Amino acid sequence: MLSGFDFQTIVHALPYLFLTGMSFTLTLTLCATIGGMIFGTLLAVMRLSDNRILSVIAGGYVNLLRSLPLVLVIFWFYFLVPFLAQWLTGSSSPVRIDPFWSSVITFTLFEACYFCEIVRSGIQSLPRGQTLAASALGMTDRQALFYVILPQALRNMLPLILTQTIILFQDTSLVYVLSITDFLGAAAKIAQRDGRLLEMYVFAAVVYFIISLIASQAVRRLQKRVAIIR
Amino acid sequence: MNYHWNWWIFFEPSLDGTNTYLTTLFWGLGWTAATAVVGFTIALVLGSVVGVARTAPIGWVQTSGMVFVEVFRNIPLLVQMFLWYFVLPEVLPRDAGMWLKQFPNAQFYTAAVCLGFYHAARMAEVVRAGLLSLSRGQKMAGQALGLTLPQTYRYVLLPVAYRIVVPAITSEFLSCTKNTSVGIAIGLVELTGTARAMQENTFQVFEAFAAATVLYLALNMVIVFAMRSVEKAAVIPGLGNRIAGRGR
């Protein structure tokens, strides 16, 4: 099998694969994680708030997106975002959005649902006494949230958040369905151009595998360190 | 907005000439369901074997179980799909490769097998979590009664472990159903694929995806209701509502 394996193709493609492809994948992962965390925390706070309207809206949004496949959501936002942008900016025709920003928006809005559930369970896992103690000290609800609840919840949830980020990193490969040049997209383009499907796909798999494996081992180590607090 | 809504589009004939768009969407739903069921059956069987292997007191069996889980969990599903579909026929001996390439409905079988292996790795973790949540006394009692190791698993450990992890199995099944949509990349005409084809042919983007969304939600609800009765039947009296190993 290895006799026909053309390492030369891979070597020649390396700059394109990593400088164009992997940098897209990593930037997208980073932006979507940050955006998803912010929006996800907001959704979690909305879901847990005493305001019924807010909690129903957030709950409905999270449950809806969580029961749809990511591929379908990618298509949805790819077509929906230009119309939304048109509506927001009041322009006369749908706004053309750069594929990168379109994917950032999609993944932020989609992954926020998963981050929301993580943050929510993190907040709920804290003893009720924390909130009560904060208000006994005279803190407002907002102060209690930002200075007492969230810091503890986020620390408890850190391993889960990072694991979700690894999943997100793998999920970004699905932008392939929009013919965007992420790492897998770059590999697929070279594969089809040079007729080297075997080499490129195996190489892509190995790279994803190594990165995800190292990252998940690191998370496991971190989990042991964070778990000692209790 | 200058988007032209046309909900009647579902009743117009699709490009295949015989079916309306609505019918093609239901065919897509059928393929989605079929792929999910076949894929998840493979995942259940294979995942149980690997999950048991990971708890077995034999060094090399444990290690190979761990390798299986790490490999199939750390490569994106889409890449795995490409490996099964494009790379496997190249790696196999010439005759076997040719046979695979000419297989009827190759996309369906590839997607089902690929999903099966992918979710088997996750099911293995679920089964393992279930097995580990049992007290050690169960295994010892089994062996003290003179059961062999396989018998202990078969008659003592697994029946209880499965009942504990039913809720986790439900969520894996749901995620397996959603993941069938990745099959679109190798040309499987499942629900997302039919909606996408309808959108490309008619330019009625939002109608097509709205219909797919509704159908996915309906499919989800059917699975949740079906599994809820399984969950009810599987509750172990006296064990409270303890839930072990909710995937990762």
Neighbours of B38 (CB within 10 A): 18
Cα–Cα distance between B128 and B115 in angstroms, integer?
A: 20
Q: Which two tokens stand for residue B238?
A: 């006296």
pLDDT (mean) for B194-213: 90
Q: Which residues of A touch B91 (CB under 8 A)?
A: 1, 198
Q: Which two tokens stand for residue A105?
A: 């928006």
Q: What is the pLDDT of residue B1?
A: 53
* H-helix or E-strand spanning residue A106: helix A99-124
Q: Which two tokens stand for residue B164?
A: 């504990």
Q: Which residues of A touch B2 (CB under 8 A)?
A: 93-94
Contact A173 B80 (CB under 8 A): no
Contact A177 B180 (CB under 8 A): no
**Terminal CA-to-CA distance of chain B, rounded, Å?**
42
Of B75, B217, B248, the CB nearest to A67: B217
| φ, ψ for residue B20, nearest 5 deg | -80, 165
pLDDT (mean) for B4-17: 80
Contact A201 B75 (CB under 8 A): no
Chain A closest-CA separation from residue B172 CA (Å): 12
CATH number at residue A179: 1.10.3720.10
Residue B245 pLDDT greater than 50, yes or no:
no
Nearest CA in chain B to A64: B217
| pLDDT tens digits for range A11-64 | 888 889 898 999 999 999 999 999 999 999 999 999 998 899 999 999 999 999
Q: Which two tokens stand for residue B79?
A: 């890449």
Contact A197 B90 (CB under 8 A): yes
The residues near A156 (Cβ < 8 Å, ≥ 6 apart) are A122, A125, A126, A226
Contact B181 A212 (CB under 8 A): no
Q: What is the complex's ipTM, to 2 decimals?
A: 0.90
Q: How confident is the model at residue B39 (pLDDT cuts 50, 70, 90)?
A: very high
Nearest CA in chain B to A87: B1
Residues in chain B: 248
Nearest CA in chain B to A207: B75
| pLDDT tens digits for range B121-178 | 999 999 999 999 998 899 999 999 999 999 999 999 999 999 999 999 999 999 999 9
Contact A75 B209 (CB under 8 A): yes
Region class of B187: left (phi > 0), else alpha (psi between -120 and 50), else beta: left
Number of domains chain A contains: 1
Is residue B181 within 8 Å of residue A72, measured between CB atoms?
yes
The angle, 0 to 180 degrees and rounded to 10, between the axes of the packed helices A23-48 and A52-66 is 140
Q: What is the pLDDT of residue B18?
A: 79
Q: Which of A9-18, A190-199, B4-13, B150-159 has the lowest mean pLDDT?
A: B4-13
Q: Which residues of B touch A93 (CB under 8 A)?
A: 2
Place of tokens 């965390």: A37
Q: What is the pLDDT of residue A3?
A: 58
Most distant CA pair in chain B: distance in Å?
A: 76
Q: What is the pLDDT of residue A2?
A: 53
Residue B243 pLDDT greater than 60, yes or no:
no
* Positive/negative CA dihedral, A49, A53, A57, A63: positive
pLDDT (mean) for A160-178: 94
Q: Which residues of B touch A205 (CB under 8 A)?
A: 75, 79-80, 83
CA dihedral A75, A79, A82, A85 (to 10 degrees): -70
Q: What is the pLDDT of residue A31?
A: 96
Residue A228 pLDDT greater than 70, yes or no:
no
- Chain A to chain B, count of Cβ pairs less than 8 Å apart? 105
Cα–Cα distance between A28 and A211 in angstroms, integer?
A: 16
Q: What is the pLDDT of residue A83?
A: 87
Q: What is the pLDDT of residue B244?
A: 45
**Domain range annotation of chain B:** 18-234
Q: How confident is the model at residue B247 (pLDDT cuts 50, 70, 90)?
A: very low
Q: Which residues of B touch A2 (CB under 8 A)?
A: none
| pLDDT tens digits for range A73-129 | 999 999 888 888 888 888 888 888 888 898 999 999 999 999 999 999 999 888 889
Of A184, A197, A198, the CB nearest to B79: A184
Residue A196 pLDDT greater than 70, yes or no:
yes
Is residue B214 within 8 Å of residue B208, measured between CB atoms?
no
Residue B17 pLDDT greater than 80, yes or no:
no
Q: Which residues of B touch A79 (CB under 8 A)?
A: 199, 205-206, 209
Contact B1 A83 (CB under 8 A): yes
Is residue B47 within 8 Å of residue B161, measured between CB atoms?
no
| pLDDT tens digits for range B44-97 | 999 999 999 999 888 999 999 999 999 999 999 999 999 999 999 888 888 888
Q: What is the pLDDT of residue B246?
A: 42
Of B1, B77, B87, the CB nearest to A198: B87
pLDDT (mean) for A2-10: 74
Q: Which domain holds residue A96?
A: 2-229
Cα–Cα distance between A175 and B179 in angstroms, integer?
A: 14
Q: Which of residues B239 and B212 earns the better pLDDT score? A: B212
The superfamily CATH assigns to domain B18-234 is MetI-like (1.10.3720.10)
